[in-house]
Amino acid sequence: MKVVVVTRSGRELIKGGLELDDSATVSDLQEAIHRRTRNYYPSRQRLTLPLLPGSKEKPTILHYRKSLKEYCSGNSDNLTVVFKDLGPQVSYQTLFFFEYLGPLLIYPIFYYLPVYQYFGYKGERIIHPVQTYAMYYWCFHYFKRIMETFFVHRFSHATSPLSNVFRNCAYYWTFGAYIAYYVNHPFYTPVCDLQMKIGFGFGLLCQISNFYCHILLRNLRRPNGNGGYQIPCGFLFNIVTCANYTTEIYQWLGFNIATQTIAGYVFLVVATSIMTNWALAKHLRLRRLFDGKEGRPKYPRRWVILPPFL
Ligand SMILES: NC(=O)c1ccc[n+]([C@@H]2O[C@H](COP(=O)([O-])OP(=O)(O)OC[C@H]3O[C@@H](n4cnc5c(N)ncnc54)[C@H](OP(=O)(O)O)[C@@H]3O)[C@@H](O)[C@H]2O)c1
C-alpha cells in the first residue's frame, strides 16, 4: 500500500510517499519515516488522519499498534497521514526520576550542611527533633515516588517532551529548596510534641494509603497491555475518582501540621490546585469513556478529589 506523509502545512514530508506491506502497522510506518528522515524517531512523531478543510473536530490520532488498513477508507490501498514533530522526547521514567531526585538531594543539604553560614547566620544551629523527623519524612516521600516510577506505575505514554523535564524540575527543585530552607532554619520554632506526632502520624498513614492507591491503579493494566483506561475501584476509589491525589494532598497537610511553615502551606495550595485541575479532567474522561451506552459500563457517582467539597 502507498502512504503519503504530509506536514500540517500540507507539504509532502517524504517525496513520492512510502510503499509498505498491506499488513503494515502504524509502528512500521513510523519506522519507515524514521529511516527516511533520520531525526524523527517514532516517539517524536504524531500521525493523524487529515481533516476536511474548515473542520473544527479533533483529528484521529493513529495508534502505533493498529494496522494501517484500519485507517484506510473502504478497500483503498492509499492512505494520507498528517505528520507532526513532537520535539525531542524522554521516557516518563527519566522525567519523573529527575524531577524527584532534586528534592531528595536538596532537602538533606539544608539539614546536614552549614548552608546558613552563607546566609549570614554565624551562631551554632540547634537541631530540633521535628526537623530530623521532617527530613526523614521528606526523603521517604521522594524515595517512594522514585521507586513507584520504576516499579509500580504502568504509563500509557512511553515518552514526554524534553522541555517538560526543565519545567517540572524547576517546580519540584525550587519548592524543595524553599521548604527545606525554612524548616531547617536556625531560628525555626518547633510546634508542640502532640501536634508533631498527629501531623507525622496522619501524614504517614496517607503516604501508605497513597502507595496502596498506586497499586490499585497499576492493577488496572496488564504488563504489556495497550495502556487503556478502566474504572478505578476498591479502597478510597469507591468514593473518590482521584484517591491517589486526595491522599497526596492529605499527606502534605500532615507534613505541614507537624512543621508549620508558610513555605510548606504555599506548596500545599499550589500542588492542590494543580492536582484539582488534573482530577477534573480525569473525572470527565472516565465519565465520557464509561457513559453506559452501547454496552459500555456507566461510571458510578463519585467525588472528584476532595469529598465533600469536590
Ligand atoms: N505534589 C504534587 O504537586 C503532585 C502532582 C502530581 C502528582 N503527584 C503524585 O504523583 C503520583 C502520580 O501522579 P500522576 O499524575 O502520574 O497520577 P495518575 O495519572 O493518576 O496515575 C498514576 C498511574 O496510574 C495510571 N492510571 C490512572 N488512572 C487510570 C485508569 N483509570 N486506568 C488505568 N490506569 C490509570 C496512569 O496512567 P497514564 O500514564 O495513562 O496517566 C499512571 O501510570 C500521584 O498519585 C501523586 O501521589 C504529586
DSSP states along 60-126? PBPPTTSBGGGGSSTT-SEEEEEEEE--SEEEHHHHHHHHHHHHHHHHHHHHHS-GGGGGT--SPPP
**Beta carbons within 8 Å of 185's beta carbon, 6+ residues apart:** 116
- Please work out whether the CB of residue 220 comes within 6 Å of at least one atom of ligand 1: yes
Vertex 308 angle, CA 305 and 310, to 5°: 40
Q: Ligand 1 centre from 168 Cα, in Å? A: 15
Quick one: which atom of ligand 1 is closest to the CA of 282?
28
d(CA 64, CA 44): 12
The pLDDT value recorded for residue 54 is: 80
Cβ partners under 8 Å of residue 265, min gap 6: 256
Q: What is the dihedral sign for C-alpha 29, 34, 40, 43?
A: positive
Whether 230 lines ligand 1, by a CB cut-off of 6 Å, is yes
Q: Whose CA is nearest to atom 42 of ligand 1?
A: 155
Q: Between vectors from CA 51 to CA 53 and to CA 43, what angle results, nearest 5°?
A: 140
Mean pLDDT of the chain: 94
**Span 276-301, average pLDDT:** 95
- Residues in contact with 174: Cβ distance below 8 Å, sequence separation at least 6, in sequence order: none
* Integer angstrom CA distances of residue 294 from 37, 276, 283, 290: 43, 31, 20, 10
The answer, yes or no, to whether any atom of ligand 1 lies below 6 A from the CB of 287, is no
pTM score above 0.85: yes
Q: So where are the chain's domains?
A: 2-87, 90-289
Average pLDDT over residues 116-134: 94
Lowest model confidence (mean pLDDT) among 24-38, 56-70, 232-246? 56-70
44 by DSSP, 3-state: which? Answer: helix
Mean pLDDT value of segment 88-107: 96
Query: pLDDT at position 191, please?
Result: 96
Considering the segment(s) 2-87 as one domain, its CATH architecture is Roll (3.10)
H-helix or E-strand spanning residue 30: helix 26-37
In angstroms, rounded to a whole number, what is the distance separating the alpha carbons of residues 174 and 102? 9
How large is the C-alpha radius of gyration of the chain?
25
Q: Ligand 1 mean position to 242 CA, how many Å?
A: 9
Give dist(CA 241, CA 286) in Å, integer.
Answer: 9
Question: Is the four-CA dihedral 231, 234, 237, 243 of positive or negative sign?
Answer: negative
Protein residue with its CA nearest to atom 32 in ligand 1? 229
Distance 205 CA to ligand 1 centre (A): 19
- Atom number in ligand 1 closest to CA 154: 43
What's the CA-to-centroid distance between 232 and ligand 1, angstroms? 12
Question: What is the pLDDT averaged over residues 59-69?
Answer: 90
222 lines ligand 1 (CB under 6 A): no
Atom of ligand 1 nearest to the CA of 247: 47
Query: What is the number of the ligand 1 atom nearest to the C-alpha of 213?
Result: 45
